[in-house]
Amino acid sequence: MPRSKAHTPHPDTDEPVDCSIEATLAVIGDRWTLLILRDVFRGVHRFSELQADLGIARNLLTDRLGRLVDHGVLAKVPYQERPLRHEYRLSAKGADLSTALIALMGWGDRWYASEGAPILLVHEDCGTPLEQSVQCPQCQIAVHPGRIKSRPGPGRSPS
Protein backbone atom coordinates (compact mmCIF):
# COMPACT_ATOMS: atom_id res chain seq x y z
CA MET A 1 0.00 0.00 0.00
CA PRO A 2 1.52 3.39 -0.99
CA ARG A 3 2.33 5.79 1.77
CA SER A 4 0.81 9.24 1.78
CA LYS A 5 3.19 12.13 1.22
CA ALA A 6 4.13 14.64 3.89
CA HIS A 7 2.89 18.21 3.79
CA THR A 8 6.27 19.59 2.72
CA PRO A 9 5.67 21.19 -0.69
CA HIS A 10 8.09 20.62 -3.56
CA PRO A 11 9.65 24.06 -4.20
CA ASP A 12 8.75 24.05 -7.91
CA THR A 13 5.44 22.23 -8.05
CA ASP A 14 3.89 22.60 -4.57
CA GLU A 15 3.21 18.86 -4.73
CA PRO A 16 3.85 17.18 -1.37
CA VAL A 17 7.23 15.48 -0.96
CA ASP A 18 8.31 12.94 1.60
CA CYS A 19 11.98 13.91 1.66
CA SER A 20 13.67 17.16 2.65
CA ILE A 21 16.73 16.24 0.56
CA GLU A 22 14.52 16.03 -2.54
CA ALA A 23 13.03 19.46 -1.80
CA THR A 24 16.49 20.94 -1.20
CA LEU A 25 17.92 19.50 -4.42
CA ALA A 26 15.03 21.01 -6.37
CA VAL A 27 16.37 24.44 -5.35
CA ILE A 28 20.17 24.04 -5.14
CA GLY A 29 20.89 20.66 -6.71
CA ASP A 30 22.90 21.53 -9.79
CA ARG A 31 26.58 22.31 -10.29
CA TRP A 32 26.18 25.96 -11.29
CA THR A 33 23.85 26.81 -8.43
CA LEU A 34 26.26 25.38 -5.86
CA LEU A 35 29.20 27.25 -7.42
CA ILE A 36 27.21 30.50 -7.46
CA LEU A 37 26.43 30.01 -3.77
CA ARG A 38 30.10 29.28 -3.06
CA ASP A 39 31.07 32.55 -4.71
CA VAL A 40 28.40 34.59 -2.91
CA PHE A 41 29.61 33.14 0.41
CA ARG A 42 33.13 34.28 -0.59
CA GLY A 43 31.92 37.83 -1.21
CA VAL A 44 31.31 37.82 -4.97
CA HIS A 45 27.97 39.60 -5.32
CA ARG A 46 27.68 41.24 -8.73
CA PHE A 47 26.51 39.56 -11.92
CA SER A 48 29.62 40.50 -13.91
CA GLU A 49 31.94 39.29 -11.14
CA LEU A 50 30.07 35.99 -10.82
CA GLN A 51 30.17 35.48 -14.58
CA ALA A 52 33.89 36.24 -14.79
CA ASP A 53 34.81 34.07 -11.81
CA LEU A 54 32.72 31.08 -12.87
CA GLY A 55 33.05 31.30 -16.65
CA ILE A 56 29.30 30.63 -16.87
CA ALA A 57 27.12 31.69 -19.82
CA ARG A 58 25.01 34.79 -19.13
CA ASN A 59 21.73 32.97 -19.76
CA LEU A 60 22.62 30.20 -17.29
CA LEU A 61 23.71 32.68 -14.65
CA THR A 62 20.54 34.74 -15.15
CA ASP A 63 18.42 31.60 -14.78
CA ARG A 64 20.19 30.30 -11.66
CA LEU A 65 20.23 33.69 -9.93
CA GLY A 66 16.54 34.15 -10.73
CA ARG A 67 15.69 30.75 -9.21
CA LEU A 68 17.73 31.50 -6.08
CA VAL A 69 15.97 34.86 -5.68
CA ASP A 70 12.54 33.31 -6.39
CA HIS A 71 13.15 30.67 -3.71
CA GLY A 72 14.35 33.25 -1.17
CA VAL A 73 17.94 31.96 -1.00
CA LEU A 74 19.40 35.19 -2.39
CA ALA A 75 18.12 38.75 -2.24
CA LYS A 76 18.54 41.09 -5.19
CA VAL A 77 19.80 44.40 -3.77
CA PRO A 78 20.34 47.62 -5.79
CA TYR A 79 23.87 49.02 -5.57
CA GLN A 80 23.62 51.65 -8.34
CA GLU A 81 20.72 53.80 -9.54
CA ARG A 82 21.77 55.09 -12.99
CA PRO A 83 21.72 52.68 -14.62
CA LEU A 84 19.96 50.50 -12.09
CA ARG A 85 22.22 47.60 -11.13
CA HIS A 86 21.78 44.89 -8.52
CA GLU A 87 23.97 42.59 -6.53
CA TYR A 88 23.04 39.31 -4.93
CA ARG A 89 23.21 38.84 -1.17
CA LEU A 90 22.48 35.83 0.98
CA SER A 91 19.16 35.88 2.77
CA ALA A 92 18.88 34.16 6.17
CA LYS A 93 17.65 31.11 4.23
CA GLY A 94 20.75 31.26 2.02
CA ALA A 95 23.18 31.80 4.89
CA ASP A 96 21.72 28.69 6.50
CA LEU A 97 23.26 26.67 3.64
CA SER A 98 26.75 27.33 5.00
CA THR A 99 27.07 24.03 6.86
CA ALA A 100 25.86 22.08 3.81
CA LEU A 101 28.45 23.72 1.55
CA ILE A 102 31.17 23.19 4.16
CA ALA A 103 30.20 19.50 4.32
CA LEU A 104 30.43 19.18 0.52
CA MET A 105 33.79 20.94 0.57
CA GLY A 106 35.12 18.65 3.29
CA TRP A 107 33.97 15.57 1.37
CA GLY A 108 35.71 16.85 -1.76
CA ASP A 109 38.87 17.60 0.23
CA ARG A 110 38.90 14.08 1.63
CA TRP A 111 38.17 12.17 -1.57
CA TYR A 112 39.46 14.35 -4.43
CA ALA A 113 42.19 16.65 -3.10
CA SER A 114 45.13 14.25 -3.18
CA GLU A 115 47.64 17.06 -2.58
CA GLY A 116 45.65 18.50 0.30
CA ALA A 117 42.73 20.90 0.59
CA PRO A 118 42.95 23.76 -1.92
CA ILE A 119 41.21 26.11 0.55
CA LEU A 120 41.22 26.01 4.34
CA LEU A 121 38.35 27.43 6.35
CA VAL A 122 39.67 28.95 9.57
CA HIS A 123 38.28 30.65 12.65
CA GLU A 124 38.58 34.38 11.94
CA ASP A 125 39.66 35.20 15.51
CA CYS A 126 42.48 32.70 16.00
CA GLY A 127 43.23 31.22 12.55
CA THR A 128 42.59 27.59 13.58
CA PRO A 129 41.30 25.38 10.74
CA LEU A 130 37.67 24.45 11.31
CA GLU A 131 36.28 20.95 11.67
CA GLN A 132 32.72 19.89 11.03
CA SER A 133 30.94 17.22 12.98
CA VAL A 134 27.47 16.14 14.00
CA GLN A 135 26.95 16.50 17.73
CA CYS A 136 24.20 15.19 19.97
CA PRO A 137 22.74 18.19 21.81
CA GLN A 138 21.78 16.01 24.79
CA CYS A 139 25.03 14.07 25.27
CA GLN A 140 27.34 16.82 23.95
CA ILE A 141 29.41 14.26 21.99
CA ALA A 142 30.27 13.91 18.31
CA VAL A 143 28.18 11.22 16.61
CA HIS A 144 29.81 9.00 13.96
CA PRO A 145 27.69 8.44 10.79
CA GLY A 146 27.30 4.74 11.65
CA ARG A 147 25.59 5.72 14.91
CA ILE A 148 22.95 7.96 13.30
CA LYS A 149 19.44 6.53 12.95
CA SER A 150 16.30 8.07 11.51
CA ARG A 151 12.70 8.11 12.67
CA PRO A 152 9.55 9.84 11.45
CA GLY A 153 9.49 13.54 12.25
CA PRO A 154 6.60 15.84 13.08
CA GLY A 155 6.13 16.81 9.42
CA ARG A 156 5.64 13.26 8.23
CA SER A 157 2.15 12.12 7.35
CA PRO A 158 0.98 8.91 8.97
CA SER A 159 1.27 5.81 6.75
Q: What is the pLDDT of residues 28-79, one digit of tens each?
A: 999 999 999 999 999 999 999 999 999 999 999 999 999 999 999 999 999 9
Q: Does 72 fall in a domain?
A: yes
For 112-132, the pLDDT digits (tens) are: 999 999 999 999 999 999 999
Q: Report the domain count for the chain.
A: 1
Q: Does 150 fall in a domain?
A: no
Domain, as residue range, for 64: 8-118
Cα separation, 60 vs 50, in Å, equals: 11
Q: Does 17 fall in a domain?
A: yes
Query: In this structure, what CATH number is given to the domain that contains residue 77?
Result: 1.10.10.10
Q: Does 133 fall in a domain?
A: no
Q: Does 159 fall in a domain?
A: no
Q: Does 141 fall in a domain?
A: no
Q: Does 97 fall in a domain?
A: yes
Q: Does 56 fall in a domain?
A: yes
Q: For the whole model, what pTM was predicted?
A: 0.85
